[in-house]
Amino acid sequence: MAAGPASFTSRPEILGTFGVVASTHWLASAAGMATLEKGGNAFDAAVATGFALQVVEPHLNGPGGDVPILFYSAREDRVRVVCGQGVAPAAATIDHYRSLGLGMMPGTGHLAAVVPGSFDAWMIMLRDHGTMRLADVLEPAIGYARDGYAMVPRVADAIANVAELFRTEWPTSAAIYLRNGQPPAQFTRFRNPVLADTYRRILREAEAAGGNREVQIEAARRAWYKGFVADAIDRLFRVPLMDTTGERHAGVLTADDMARWEARYEAPLSYDYHGYTVCKTGPWGQGPVFLQQLALLRDVDLAGMAPDGPDFVHWVTEAAKLAFADREAFYGDPDFVKVPMEHLLSDTYNAARRRLIGREASLELRPGTIPGYGGRIDPDAARRGRMGYDTVRQGTRPAGAHQAGVGEPTLQRGAVGEPTIGRDGRMAGDTCHLDVIDRWGNMVSATPSGGWLQSSPVVPELGFSVTTRGQMFWLDADHPAALAPGRRPRTTLTPSFALRDGEPYMAFGTPGGDQQDQWSVVFFLRHVHHGLNLQEAIDAPMFHSESFPSSFYPRGMKPGSMVMEDRFPKATVDELKRRGHIVEDAGSWGLGRLSAATRDGEYLKTAANPRGMQGYAVGR
């Protein structure tokens, strides 16, 4: 095994026996740990953490967002997925969007909306696996919204970045986020009383239903998807508002769309790798690219490579390029599209794909070919920027596009304490993540996102925005991720779970859009092959590629890109450049917001990311 980076860590790996919680904000982690201390289990704590994140990180997720969840139930002794990814509305057809003169899904506003799925996902997990009442798990979120919390700089910066849009085009957002017409200062004690009232009304309607906790949770689901929440969303979406096209559009999402949808359980996809079994969502998300990378790297001697050396970085990056090219060619909602996952994870297929990895960096988009499957992706057209995305140093925007926050605000640049700039040059944010393990062995990994304050106008009666995840659809009927009514967009949200020697071991993940299944793979490989503990693996210098199409508007692509933190040895960077990688400096602490938790022998362990100075792991 090659030696790893220095063992210094930014904070300790937390060890305990009672329970552990890690998330992307310390207030949410505290809410989850408090729930465990009150006697709740991991499912109760995860729900409390998730709802708290909606309040304290409104630029990263919200009540009207999305969430995939991977969990292990000790009672059931199995890993399952909760799909909290909502679907395209009934009126969301390619013909409709083409009739508006669009060649690409907008990145913000009404037209990019799908059914918000996070509330129902949290509710069915709480109903079926939790132990606490809805009022108990909502208490921290309501308290933060009603009484206020310290607004961290990244939230204040995100609001300031779109303040003019709020003033001129999205007055309902201005009413919440611009007090006296001005964005809040950093560390302002910020309150959202409208959101607090929304959740209090949910509780009143739930408790009015009487009965046990399950009856009340069902009443809350009705209030959200068939009651006052759905009605308020419907009213706002009939009003034309500005989006990234530079024009005002009404939406197609309706209360009927919400009433027809509900979250559901699914079996995970999995792959066995060196004694570990990694579990991910199906190909309605990008999660299987993690498994494909493992299949490509399984027979490579990564343990013999330094985890901060050029060989390790090169092999992992080139494998990622191949897996993400297959994502573009094959992935979509398997309820509508046949996705050949068994073939994509097979030894024969990956042995052939592995032979494409040479000593030099690839500058091409190289999806595999599987007869009868996949969409039409012309690698030559991709290189020339003719596939609906831009092969340029920075993603470009169509002429006249409005300067709203587009896409998933993904952490890509900036050192600790410095602004983070997205690929379009504006202030960027992130998604959220949480991991929980309780003393009974229940485990949860979830990646909430969507409903970002900068990407969709606030619903005035509710105090939150609606997900714009529909921007991930393609307006090409032959594409596996094509827009169609009832389809799930191919989300980038991708929590991770791993068993070790058949026993539930680790919940982990990160925000980061297309980078999620790169940063989490690097973390996992360093933990498995180089023996880095959770905090060491999180703190180690990170890297990723942008050599494939972004999932987000305007779908930028940078062939040959290698984005690296500057803590790598100079010899590593020089050798990668010699091999043809186009290296971009991401600062010292600019990539990833990983967290993880393990059940390792007699201890529960957890760790969280220091980047961004928000994430925290707690436990006892």
At 485-541, the pLDDT tens digits run 999 999 999 999 999 999 999 999 999 999 999 999 999 999 999 999 999 999 999
More reliable by pLDDT, 417 or 217: 217
User: What's the pLDDT score for residue 384?
Assistant: 44
pLDDT above 90 covers what percent of the chain? 86
- Provide mean pLDDT across the span 225-239: 98
Q: Do residues 369 and 340 touch, judged by C-beta distance below 8 A?
A: no
Q: Do residues 220 and 135 touch, judged by C-beta distance below 8 A?
A: no
- Provide mean pLDDT across the span 87-115: 97
- Provide mean pLDDT across the span 295-323: 98
User: What's the pLDDT score for residue 63?
Assistant: 97
- Provide mean pLDDT across the span 294-321: 98
Q: Which stretches within 432-587 are classed as H helix?
A: 516-530, 534-539, 570-578
Mean pLDDT of the chain: 91
pLDDT band at 2 (very low <50, low <70, confident <90, very high): low
CA-CA distance, 156 to 232, in Å (whole number)?
27
- Provide mean pLDDT across the span 295-308: 98
pLDDT band at 6 (very low <50, low <70, confident <90, very high): low
User: What's the pLDDT score for residue 380?
Assistant: 53
> Per-residue DSSP letters for 212-270?
SHHHHHHHHHHHHHSSHHHHHHHHHHTS-EE-TTSSEE-----HHHHHH---EEEPPEE
Secondary element (H or E) of residue 582: strand 582-585
Q: What is the pLDDT of residues 340-361, one digit of tens each?
A: 999 999 999 999 999 999 999 9
- How far is Cα of residue 521 from the mean position of the Cα atoms in its chain? 15
pLDDT of 447 above 60 = yes
pLDDT of 196 above 60 = yes
pLDDT of 255 above 70 = yes
Q: What is the pTM of this model?
A: 0.93
- Provide mean pLDDT across the span 565-594: 96
pLDDT of 153 above 50 = yes
User: What's the pLDDT score for residue 414?
Assistant: 32
pLDDT of 405 above 70 = no
pLDDT of 198 above 90 = yes
Q: Do residues 534 and 463 touch, judged by C-beta distance below 8 A?
A: no
Kindly provide the residue ranges of all beta strands, DSSP E only, lying in 289-342, ordered along the sequence: none
User: What's the pLDDT score for residue 487?
Assistant: 98
User: What's the pLDDT score for residue 1?
Assistant: 65
pLDDT of 546 above 60 = yes
Q: Do residues 23 and 445 touch, judged by C-beta distance below 8 A?
A: no
pLDDT above 70 covers what percent of the chain? 90
